[in-house]
Amino acid sequence: MATGDATIAAGIAARRRHLDAAAAVGVGHYRTNRLRTGRLRGLALTEAARAWDARTTPGG
């Protein structure tokens, strides 16, 4: 289970880096990257991030 958690955490960290980079260069570039990487993959990472936050946030 710890390996799965590490994988999720790594995915979330990568997602946050991607969002930070997208914000730095503008929305148009972000949209292009989203189309290139695939919307479903992005949604899967978003859902994993929500699940991770729900499990690790005290009182959440």
**Contacting residues for 8 by C-beta, under 8 A, at least 6 apart:** 48, 51, 52
CA dist 45 → 4, 24, 57 (Å):
13, 20, 18
Per-residue pLDDT of the chain (60 residues; tens, 9 = 90+): 467 788 888 888 888 887 777 666 665 555 555 555 666 666 777 787 788 788 887 765
With residues binned 3-state (H G I as helix, E B as strand, rest as coil), the percentages for the chain, rounded to 5, are: 90, 0, 10
pLDDT of residue 12: 85
pLDDT of residue 34: 58
pLDDT of residue 1: 47
The model carries a pTM of 0.36
Residue 31 DSSP label? H
**Contacting residues for 58 by C-beta, under 8 A, at least 6 apart:** none
